[in-house]
Amino acid sequence: MKSELRKPEWLKMRFGGAAHFAATKMLVSQNGLNTVCRSAQCPNLHECWSSGTATFLLLGDSCTRGCRFCAVTTLASPPLPSPDEPERIARAVGKMRLGHAVLTSVARDDLEDGGSSAWAETVIAVRRENPDTTVECLIPDFKGDQKALERIMSTRPDILNHNVETVPSLYEAVRPQADYERSLEVLRKARHDFGLTTKSGLMVGMGETEDQILSVLDDLADTGCRHVTIGQYLQPSPRHYPVQSYVTPERFECYRVYAEGLGFRNVQSGPYVRSSYNAAASLQPY
């Protein structure tokens, strides 16, 4: 299948200033770090890196899952995570003077703990090296492994982010190894068992209906989640799932209004929005 849709005007690439871009690029490469900005081909890369921000990708650059929307490389058995990655990330956060550090990772279903120990070590290292920096963890579902989830949640990140990504009827087609209810349960656990500020996100333009999007927002609100990102899905390559529609800025605005009506505190809804875009805006505890 190939996407035949032409990109609308509101999705033409923007370029920000280059003030910090080169510095961010050098820092990431000199420290041997992976970023989801690059691995997932984020359209905001130039803008974010130019403003000195990036989202670190933990546990290597290869994922054990094969979601059809994601540009990250899939491998059944990627190399073992580097033991000094937590320290390298912590140092990079300091050098970039990040007030808010966003951490995410590939899924490592091949590891016994799903990579949760490395996750916890990274949060602790970032905090130790940068006591004034807030930390957001955008985590995978760890196949619902309660111990793995608790290991991370007990580090008490300032924001616990877990994306539902799309509406439940599309899971089989685009993320067959995930489970919508399981993802809701991750958010519920973080909020109700740990009292964390929770956040989630989804992409639109994958063939879902508007009512299905509203229903996902209802479900998220029901878990206690109060921060959400909604962005346009973009096909990373011809072998990925094709874009089914380009959602208009007006429709994104309708989703924002609906979500705010449900009690969401921070709703980032727009064509370029990604789960870590303007992430510090979600730093409102509730």
Residues that bind ligand SF4 (CB under 6 A): 36-37, 42, 44-45, 48, 53-55, 274, 276-277
CB of 55 to ligand SF4, least distance (A): 4
Task: Go through the chain and tell me how many residues it has.
Answer: 286
Select 123 or 138, whichever has its Cβ closest to ligand SF4.
Answer: 138
CB of 247 to ligand SF4, least distance (A): 18
CB of 257 to ligand SF4, least distance (A): 23
Give the C-alpha separation, 256 to 270, whole Å. Answer: 9
Select 34 or 276, whichever has its Cβ closest to ligand SF4.
Answer: 276
Select 45 or 204, whichever has its Cβ closest to ligand SF4.
Answer: 45
CB of 268 to ligand SF4, least distance (A): 10
Select 130 or 229, whichever has its Cβ closest to ligand SF4.
Answer: 229
Select 262 or 280, whichever has its Cβ closest to ligand SF4.
Answer: 280
112: phi then psi, degrees, rounded to nearest 5: -60, -40
Exposure on the CB side of residue 88, measured as CA atoms within 13 A: 20
Select 42 or 216, whichever has its Cβ closest to ligand SF4.
Answer: 42
Core vs surface per residue 220-232: b (16+ CB within 10 A) or e: bbebbbbbbbbbb
What stretch of H or E contains 268? strand 266-269
Helix (H, G, I), strand (E, B) or coil at 281: helix
CB of 274 to ligand SF4, least distance (A): 4
CB of 111 to ligand SF4, least distance (A): 23
Q: Residue 22 contacts by C-beta under 8 Å, 6 or more apart in sequence?
A: none
Select 73 or 154, whichever has its Cβ closest to ligand SF4.
Answer: 73
CB of 106 to ligand SF4, least distance (A): 14
Place of tokens 């990504």: 165
Select 98 or 167, whichever has its Cβ closest to ligand SF4.
Answer: 98
Query: What is the maximal distance between C-alpha atoms in the chain?
Result: 49
- HEC readout, 197-254: CEEEEEEECCCCCHHHHHHHHHHHHHHCCCEEEEEECCCCCCCCCCCCCCCCHHHHHH
Task: From residue 187, give the alpha-carbon distance in Å to each of 59, 160, 174, 226, 247.
Answer: 22, 8, 21, 11, 26
Give the C-alpha separation, 251 to 270, whole Å. Answer: 9
> In this structure, which amino acid lies at residue 253?
E
CB of 153 to ligand SF4, least distance (A): 22
